[in-house]
Amino acid sequence: MSTAPRPPAVARIVPSLFVVIWATGFIAARLVAPYTEPLSFVAARVTAVALVLAGIAWIAGARWPRDLAGWRNAVVAGVLMQGLYVIGVFWSVNRGLPAGIAALVGSLQPLLTAMLARPLLGEFVSRRRWLGIGVGFVGAGLVLAPKIGAAGTSGIPPLALAAAFGAMAAMTLGTLWQKRTSAGADLITNATVQFLGAAALTIPLALLAENGRFEPALPLAIGMAWSVFVNSVAGILLLLWLIRRGAVAGVASLLFLVPPVSAAMAYILFGEALTPIQLAGMTVAAAGVAIANRG
């Protein structure tokens, strides 16, 4: 009796590598926070990513959008997912929100997507999915409620938390927009145009609201290089590889691990600790997301 061959080693490690790269985005935000302003950093980051992806698209001979609607759809998605979302994450972490908490708020995005799927896309939401939504938000409440507005370094600044939730909402709307408008788009050029749209948003905002502070420091250089080449470019290329291998469903389930991975990294690198109740709440929230997205 023959058995199916095991996938090569690279096929087994790439999904986990993708999740780790995604989790480091919150760590990079924490790493660069003392040395730059969030809008200025995001503006420089998305511009650099757009240039790198444009070079990759040119070398690969990728197909660019053929009409104005294709460019518009990608720009709108980029403003939401690469602009407002990243701004919200970096601004909230810059204002004192722990990286693990920022990752937890971001992980609730599938729950909000499920809530909006029926009114915006006409999709049926099952009882199991509503159960997952409820469990997920209970878990998030266990993590957030005890620390909101608390004094000292262990507290969660309410305004920073609101920015993180706003970022999560922007990512949700961008995901829904992408689903409705970009089914036939080339993934590399679509991502390039998304980052161009994000640059068109963030550069003027940074010029108007900030002084463009970039202190010459090694952590800032490392954070920028990592954000551009690893967190953004490599993450997108890994996603393309996973889609080609048909492993997207596996990636979706692994993304539930992003908050604890980010929290562990933040504890090791920055000493950001979570209480036992918060750790339990993070587990409950991840379980809720898993229930809502099962199958």
Q: What are phi and psi of 133, to 5 degrees?
A: -60, -45
Cα 212 off chain centre by: 24
Asked if 181 contacts 113 with a C-beta cutoff of 8 angstroms, the reply is no
Neighbours of 168 (CB within 10 A): 22
Distant-in-sequence, close-in-space partners of 13: CB < 8 Å, separation ≥ 6:
none
Asked if 84 contacts 205 with a C-beta cutoff of 8 angstroms, the reply is no
Per DSSP, 120 falls in state: I
**Helices 158-181/109-116 angle, 10° precision:** 50
**Helices 9-32/85-94 angle, 10° precision:** 50
CA distance 171 to 80: 6
CA distance 42 to 196: 12
CA distance 105 to 60: 36
Neighbours of 266 (CB within 10 A): 25
How are the residues of the chain apportioned to helix, strand and coil, as percentages rounded to the nearest 5? Answer: 80, 0, 20
Cα 13 off chain centre by: 20
Task: Tell me the sheet residues that pair with 214.
Answer: 36
CA distance 78 to 81: 5
Please give the average pLDDT of every successive group of 10 residues along the chain, which has 295 residues: 54 75 88 94 96 94 91 94 93 88 80 72 71 78 66 70 93 83 83 95 95 94 94 80 55 63 83 79 77 65
Distant-in-sequence, close-in-space partners of 79: CB < 8 Å, separation ≥ 6:
174, 197, 198, 200, 201
Tokens of 75: 């720009």
pLDDT of residue 206: 96
The residue among 88, 109, 79, 94 whose CA lies nearest residue 29 is: 94
**Helices 85-94/187-209 angle, 10° precision:** 50
The residue among 147, 142, 144, 111 whose CA lies nearest residue 284 is: 142
The pTM score is: 0.81
What single letter denotes the amino acid at residue 28?
A
Tokens of 282: 């993070």
